[in-house]
């Protein structure tokens, strides 16, 4: 158990991400030839590392026990999304002419409550943090406004915790999660609370690996989005904050310059505001 009541245990958030992931349908159906080619190259790359660094038997044992521990902590979705997903994302969106995307990460939950184009995100009456009013428009690459598009938005709270992945913290189920439907001009106006940077829990195998390598376990503060419209490629992205901590040393290497917001103080003094929209590629 964790010594501090205000820190959710890694085994809880990690295992929850594993449970959520396993509800997904698996559809790759890759041919034996393709599976063989990918495996051969993966093992070949690993053999190069072993030779280059003359990896010892003692280190091989550490690797084995650590791999077992990642599974026992339920942290494979966390580990893979932090260290691998950015390359998968980049390769699979390289053809796009519209908005840049970024990784989904382990804390997406489908079917968040639907909200109108002008809305306030579900949040606690005393939700901490700096209020953020985010306006934007969803269009296609040819400039057509996409009315009725959905912007799924999910993000951490001012303490860096995600609803449904921080057991025992008393966070309501759909806190800071919603599915916003754009108006007929493809526009939206969302009131939310700026999130805090996220730290990988240090009591699980992923955090232990960071500690062993003396790597910072932080991700910069970010908003997660998935934008969908019939006939268009779904856009998964994250938005960051200019001048925020860790935008230059994201452990998940998921920051792109196009994804950095620069909110300004609101005229009414009620927090900040920013305008940022999305351009979708036809499917
Ligand atoms: C996160 O919040 C996240 O977005 C990713 C990619 C990995 C770990 C935590
Ligand atoms: Fe995240």
Q: Which domain CATH number covers 91?
A: 2.60.130.10
Q: What is the pTM of this model?
A: 0.94
> Which of 79, 102, 103, 106 is the pocket-test mutation for ligand 1 (most atoms within 8 Å of CB)?
106
For atom 5 of ligand 1, which residue has the closest CA? 105
Distance CA(162)–CA(155), nearest Å, equals 6
Helical residues (DSSP H) of the chain, grouped into ranges? 10-21, 32-53, 57-72, 76-83, 85-93, 205-212
- C-alpha 187, offset from chain centre: 23
Neighbours of 229 (CB within 10 A): 24
Distance CA(213)–CA(207), nearest Å, equals 10
pLDDT band at residue 12 under the 50/70/90 scheme: confident
Ligand 1: does its nearest atom lie under 6 Å from the Cβ of 198? yes
Ligand 1: which atom is nearest the Cα of residue 105?
Answer: 6
In a domain, 3, yes or no: no
Q: What is the pLDDT of residue 14?
A: 77
For ligand 2, the distance from its centroid to the CA atom of residue 157, given in whole angstroms, is: 11
Length of the chain equals 283
Q: CA angle at residue 197 from 114 to 17, to 5 degrees?
A: 55
In a domain, 225, yes or no: yes
In a domain, 123, yes or no: yes
List 150's β-bridge partners, or say none.
181, 228
For atom 3 of ligand 1, which residue has the closest CA? 105
In a domain, 2, yes or no: no
Is residue 220 scored above 70 in pLDDT?
A: yes
Q: How many domains does the chain have?
A: 1
Distance CA(69)–CA(113), nearest Å, equals 35
pLDDT tens digits, 68-123: 999 999 999 999 999 999 999 999 999 999 999 999 999 999 999 999 999 999 99
Q: What is the pLDDT of residue 1?
A: 35
In a domain, 1, yes or no: no
Ligand 1: does its nearest atom lie under 6 Å from the Cβ of 252? yes
Q: Tell me what percent of the residues of the chain surpass a pLDDT of 70.
A: 96
Whole domain around residue 24: which residue ranges?
Answer: 8-283
Distance CA(87)–CA(43), nearest Å, equals 18
3-state secondary structure of 106: coil
In a domain, 183, yes or no: yes
């Amino acid at each position: 158990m964790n010594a501090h009541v205000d820190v959710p245990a890694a085994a809880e958030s990690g295992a929850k991400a594993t449970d959520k992931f396993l509800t997904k349908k698996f559809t790759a159906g890759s041919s034996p030839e393709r599976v063989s080619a990918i495996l051969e190259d993966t093992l070949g790359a690993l053999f190069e590392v072993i030779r280059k660094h003359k990896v010892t038997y003692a280190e091989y044992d550490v690797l084995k026990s650590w791999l077992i521990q990642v599974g026992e902590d339920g942290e494979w979705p966390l580990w893979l999304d932090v260290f691998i997903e950015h390359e998968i994302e980049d390769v699979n969106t390289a053809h796009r002419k519209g908005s840049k995307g970024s990784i989904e990460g382990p804390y997406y939950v489908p079917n968040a409550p639907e909200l109108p184009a002008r809305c306030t995100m579900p949040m606690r009456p005393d939700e901490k943090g700096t209020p953020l009013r985010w306006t934007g428009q969803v269009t296609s690459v040819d400039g057509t406004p996409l009315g009725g598009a959905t912007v799924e938005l999910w993000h951490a709270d001012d303490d860096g915790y995600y609803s449904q992945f921080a057991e025992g913290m008393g966070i309501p189920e759909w806190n800071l999660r919603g599915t916003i439907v754009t108006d007929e001009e493809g526009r939206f106006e969302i009131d939310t609370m700026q999130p805090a940077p996220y730290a990988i829990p240090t009591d699980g195998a992923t955090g232990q690996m960071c500690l062993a390598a003396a790597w910072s376990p932080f991700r910069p503060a970010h908003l997660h989005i998935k934008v969908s419209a019939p006939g268009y490629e779904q856009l998964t992205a994250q938005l960051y904050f200019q001048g925020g901590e860790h935008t230059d040393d994201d452990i998940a290497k998921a920051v792109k310059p196009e994804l950095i917001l620069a909110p300004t103080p609101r005229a009414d003094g009620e927090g900040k505001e920013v305008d940022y929209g999305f351009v979708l590629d036809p499917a």
